[in-house]
Each structure stands twice: as structure tokens, then as C-alpha cells.
Amino acid sequence: MTPVDHLLFLGCVALATYAQTMTGFAFGLVLLGMTGLLSLAPLPEMSNVVNMLTLVNAVAALSGTRANLDWSLIRTPLIASLVGVAFGVFALEWISGSAVLLLRGLLGLTILACAILLIARSRPLDQISSRASFISYGLVAGVLGGLFSSAGPPMVYHLYRQPLPLSVIRNSLLVLFAANAVVRLSLVTASGSLSVSSLWLGLEALPIVVILTWLVRRYASADSVKTVKRLVFVLLMIAGFGLLIPVTQALLK
């Protein structure tokens, strides 16, 4: 990576951190989508960086606060998501070794679908959803987490529909993301796929994630969450189409 690439990478990290801290989701999708669009690093390598920074962001966001959590509610989707993470990691190893173009196309489609899902207007439920629904959404979230370090959208959509306090929803998402990151990093490290360059990129971005998370948590206004969601939607649409167009052109040749 050139010095300009590093500056672009840090800019993407700052944008992803702001979006994640304000809304409780989108760190992985924004960072992967923007760095993939700019071709800053291979997708599997950047997925590892996303994992490390997601874990840092979650710890920084939860530290100094009372972890407002309903463990009886989050335990089921958390376990399901961890199973999904293992499946997603193994799928990533197979796909990245045989069809890089397919991987970029799959990421583009995932980003577009998640962008639409994240702004979908859904009516709040009158009561907590069934255990089976939490397992289903948790499993899908885990697969996305294993593939692209982006477990957020399915669980975000599902949890924000529940009749729960926003603090419980946000902290539950952060715990789920952190646990997914720990399991995925463990599996990637055990398989020998965690490169030294990924570690250096993670360390390079670490101060931005910690400092910006603290600043946003302390000074940002809750009224700006809707604006941030619209910004994330636009960025994801740009990134998704930006990844899909070259893949489509290559397939049509």
C-alpha cells in the first residue's frame, strides 16, 4: 500500500467507526465496501482487519457504561451466530482459493441487500419474537460474519423490531459483534490465514477507532442517528454497485 492508500484506509476506518458507534451496526460493511471499491487490500485480509477493529470498537463502546443486556434474550442468537461464523469462515477459505471474482460479486450483492434491509421500514412488534426466529437471524448473521466480518444487518433488522429499550438493543449488538470477532479471529489464526500485514493495518487504525468511538459516544447527538443511517445507505449502495459492475463486465466478456 502507498502512503495515499494508507490515508484512504484510515479515512474509511474513521467513517466506519462513526457509523458503528452512532447506530450499533455497519462498521464491517462500510469498511469492506469502501476499501474494496478503492482496491486498497485483498478482501480476506481486510476481513481480518475488520474483525480486529470491530472487537476494539465494541470494547471501547461498552467500557465505562453499564452493560444493559438481557442475557436470556441474546444467548440464543449469540450461540447460533457463532455456529454460522464457523461455516462462513470455511466457505470463505474455499471461495477465496478458487474464485476471487465470485467473492467480490458476492460481497457486492450482500452489501446491496444489507443496505436495503437497514433502511427498510418495519413495524415494531407487540411482543418479543419466537426463539426460532432469533436462531434463524443469528445463524444468517454468523454466516455473514464468517464470510465478510459483517454480522450486523440481519440482527440489526430483527432486534430493532423488538419491543426493547434502545440501550439494550445497541449493547446486545455490540456483544454479539465482539463474540463473533473473537471466534472468527481464533479460527483464522488457527488456519494460518492471519497475515502480518493484517495485524499492522489493525494496529495502524487502532488509535482512530478508540479515540473516535470515545468522542462520538461523548459528544454526538442522538437526533443525528437517522441522518447517519441515510449516509450509510448511500455509501453502501455506491460500494455495492462499485463492486458488482466490474464483476458483471468481466462475466459478460
Chain segment 212-240, per-residue pLDDT in tens: 888 887 776 666 667 777 777 888 888 78
The pLDDT confidence band at residue 136, using thresholds 50, 70 and 90, is very high
Q: How many angstroms separate the CA atoms of 2 and 96, rounded? A: 24
| Half-sphere CA count of 215, side-chain side, radius 13 A | 10
The pLDDT confidence band at residue 55, using thresholds 50, 70 and 90, is confident
Checking 39-45 for CB contacts under 8 A at 24+ apart, the result is 40/1, 40/5, 40/8, 40/9, 40/12, 41/1, 41/9, 41/197, 41/201, 43/96, 43/100, 43/103, 43/104, 43/107, 43/148, 44/92, 44/96, 44/193, 45/195, 45/197, 45/198, 45/201
Indicate the pTM of the whole model: 0.77
Element (H, E) at 187: helix 166-190
Q: How many angstroms separate the CA atoms of 149 and 141, rounded? A: 10
Q: How many angstroms separate the CA atoms of 87 and 145, rounded? A: 10
Q: Considering the chain, what percentage of its residues have pLDDT values greater than 90?
A: 10
* pLDDT surpassing 70 at residue 49: yes
Q: How many angstroms separate the CA atoms of 146 and 12, rounded? A: 21
